[in-house]
Structure 1
Amino acid sequence: MAASPARVREIRGSRPDQLPLPELLAGGEPVVLRGLVDGWSLVQAGRDSARAAMDHLLEHYNGRPLPYSWGPPETRGRPFYQDGFTRLNTEARRGTLDAVLADIAAHLDDPSPPTHYVASVPVDGVLPGLRAANDLDFAAHGVEAPPAIWIGNRVTASCHYDAPDNIACCAVGRRRFTLFPPAQVHNLYPGPLEPTPGGQAVSVVDFDAPDLARYPRFAEALAHARVAELQAGDALFIPSMWWHHVQALEPFNVLVNYWWSSMPAWIPTPMHALYHAMWAIRDRPEREKQAWREIFEYYVFGPAERAGEHLPEPARGALGPMDETMARRMRAMLIARLNR
């Protein structure tokens, strides 16, 4: 890329059993946690060799088939779209981990190997026992954050955002992250909401060769970008809704990540509201849209207590704090109205 993005702030000396979660969440910006998982057995095996890391994974593998993406060498390690943005350039496959690892191993020295990408597979579902020597102690903070594993060769995950907060641990290989604050959505040229290479909309800009004639606002996004390069044993905190472009840099790479949300389970993903708003509001006349913008500012984006503070507490209903009982009522009401 033409610009030279700022480096992500670093913290050294953190340990898996002493996560600085309050500090990370209060800061609300990406942070590299250097050496956080240096002591993981998978990290140590990967430092010996790719083969040792593969063997270590297989020691814990329970034989269950898992999903992965496969693409021919022309994919260049970038699960993305074919021309027209209606079809993906990779195939969704299912297979055993030992077969996937054997395919990757057979092409470790190829300059243009086929793309193999096991993405976001729950660790406990396919690698029981791995966490015994490869885990972060979220439980000490009262947080439920089961890990997922990402395995592949030189794969690029196109720039996207995730709704939960995230700690991504580089276990084998190296990774480069390019991150953007949420406001840069206007300059990143998101692609279709579906299909997508990984479940979320991705930027359609090729970061290796950005076409600024076609996507001129991307130059402004680069002015706000931050970069983090992780070695095996390092981790990165990615705050909720920050866009991130992830490049795996070695012939074999493994990442373990933890997503978690501060919201209780009865609060649904805002993506449902986004789809509903596109359906109900986006195509209305501009003056109506502006009026609805003010309504949303009052009821949703302003202070949570504002809309009901002038009412007696028993009269507030949905304008009061959202608890599990009210969440159930609202869900039932929405389902009933949508099904009319």
Structure 2
Amino acid sequence: MRDFDVAALIAGQQPVVLRGLVRDWPLVRAGLTGADAAADYLKRFYQGAPVVGYAGPPQIHGRFFYDDSVTAMNFTATRVKLDAWLDRLLGTPQDEALYIGSTDLDTYLPGLRDANDLPATAFAGATPRASIWIGNHTVAATHYDMSNNVACCVAGRRRFTLFPPEQVANLYPGPLDPTPGGQAVSMVDPRAPDLARYPRFAEAQRAAQVFDLEPGDVLVYPALWWHNVEALDGFNILINYWWNDAPAFLDSPMNTLLHGLLSLRDRPDSEKQAWRALFDYYVFGPAERAGEHLPEAARGPLAPLDAPGARRLRAYLLQRLNR
């Protein structure tokens, strides 16, 4: 496998495809032989712990999404044995959508990464989370992840349609809760967009980047890029790596967004603009700017954050929230 530097690719803030990078993985070679061979290879590592299996009826056309009420899902999720689910997947009529999503490799398939892994040097010391995704003709509706992503197409072909973060308003995000998979998804199906109902999506289409991946190809893209993922064959496997170039003690930005809805969104516009200036100063500007003119002992949470400082700030925030 040729060397590559994930951090350098992410620094470009654009998706990048590395053709054939993992084509020599044994699991990729098994998949090129056939779906049965790939499934048998996976079963060698499975220890029997239940995983979550998703199933959708023919009328969803493989797209895991909302029902007509947009308050519930158009699929079911159950705890299943992976080996039995693979047998069902290989034997089911192709109009039923079957999917195993975001299943931790080290927990559920220990040992598989011994011969099917990216080199640790690619991540410059970071420890990514590696997950496996398995299904038939399925579609993961357009969503974003809060982590950088390295997506390795292992078996079958996949089509990624990516949109940069600034297209969020043109993607018509759905509810924050519930969601099909943890993150808000676009209400628009890129395969058949209803531009009469979602006219701004035409602008998102112009900004979209589409990548068709063959087995062995790898797609690298930054955090917060929206992506629609379509499995193009009847049996598909993808392994992906998620990671952030940020200390583990940092809180989730989604918590900040939710608190912003609670505290800022419905204030008068003049106040919101003033708060925008404060956020630019304290949060979105240079990290050291807000405290650099103060004595070091007086900086408090304006000082560079470390794990103890994060705990103190979290406790202070919880105290304020509980008043």
Task: Report the TM-score, using the length of structure 2 for normalisation.
Answer: 0.97
Deviates more, 1:140-149 or 1:56-65: 140-149
Task: Quote the RMSD (CA, aligned, Å).
Answer: 1.2
**Preserved contact between residue 138 and residue 145 of structure 1 (Cα < 8 Å):** no
Q: Do residues 103 (structure 1) and 88 (structure 2) align?
A: yes
Q: Corresponding residue for 1:7?
A: none
1:81-160 paired onto structure 2 within 5 Å: 81-107=66-92, 110=93, 112-138=94-120, 141-160=124-143
State the Cα deviation string for residues 223-258 of structure 1 (Å, max 9, x = none).
111111100000100101111111011000000000
Q: 2:24 aligns with which of 19, 32, 39?
A: 39
State the Cα deviation string for residues 99-121 of structure 1 (Å, max 9, x = none).
111111113xx4x5211111001
Q: Corresponding residue for 1:266?
A: 249
1:3-14 paired onto structure 2 within 5 Å: none
1:1-340 paired onto structure 2 within 5 Å: 15=2, 18-107=3-92, 110=93, 112-138=94-120, 141-340=124-323
- Three-state SS of the structure 1 residue aligned to 2:72 is coil
State the Cα deviation string for residues 25-51 of structure 1 (Å, max 9, x = none).
221211001111111110000000011
- Three-state SS of the structure 1 residue aligned to 2:175 is coil
- Three-state SS of the structure 1 residue aligned to 2:64 is coil
State the Cα deviation string for residues 144-166 of structure 1 (Å, max 9, x = none).
11310001111101111111111
Tell me the CA shift for residue 139 of structure 1: 5.3
- Three-state SS of the structure 2 residue aligned to 1:223 is helix
Give the paired residue count: 322
- Three-state SS of the structure 2 residue aligned to 1:308 is coil
**Preserved contact between residue 173 and residue 253 of structure 1 (Cα < 8 Å):** yes
The CA distance in 2 between the partners of 1:207 and 1:242, in whole Å, is: 15
- Three-state SS of the structure 2 residue aligned to 1:69 is strand
State the Cα deviation string for residues 4-38 of structure 1 (Å, max 9, x = none).
xxxxxxxxxx63xx232232122121100111111
State the Cα deviation string for residues 291-340 of structure 1 (Å, max 9, x = none).
11111111111121221222222221111211112111001111122122
The CA distance in 1 between the partners of 2:229 and 2:250, in whole Å, is: 29
Tell me the CA shift for residue 66 of structure 1: 0.4
Q: Which runs of 5+ in 2 are unaligned?
A: none
Q: Which residue identity lines up with residue 246 of structure 1 in the other structure?
A: V
Task: Report the TM-score, using the length of structure 1 for normalisation.
Answer: 0.92
Q: Which residue identity lines up with residue 106 of structure 1 in the other structure?
A: G
Which portions of structure 1, spanning 4 or more consecutive aligned residues, are displaced by more than 4 angstroms? none
Q: Which runs of 5+ in 1 are unaligned?
A: 1-13
**Preserved contact between residue 67 and residue 73 of structure 2 (Cα < 8 Å):** yes
Percent same amino acid at aligned positions? Answer: 56
Q: Which residue identity lines up with residue 118 of structure 1 in the other structure?
A: I
Tell me the CA shift for residue 86 of structure 1: 0.3
The CA distance in 2 between the partners of 1:155 and 1:261, in whole Å, is: 27
The CA distance in 2 between the partners of 1:158 and 1:138, in whole Å, is: 30
Q: Which residue identity lines up with residue 72 of structure 1 in the other structure?
A: P
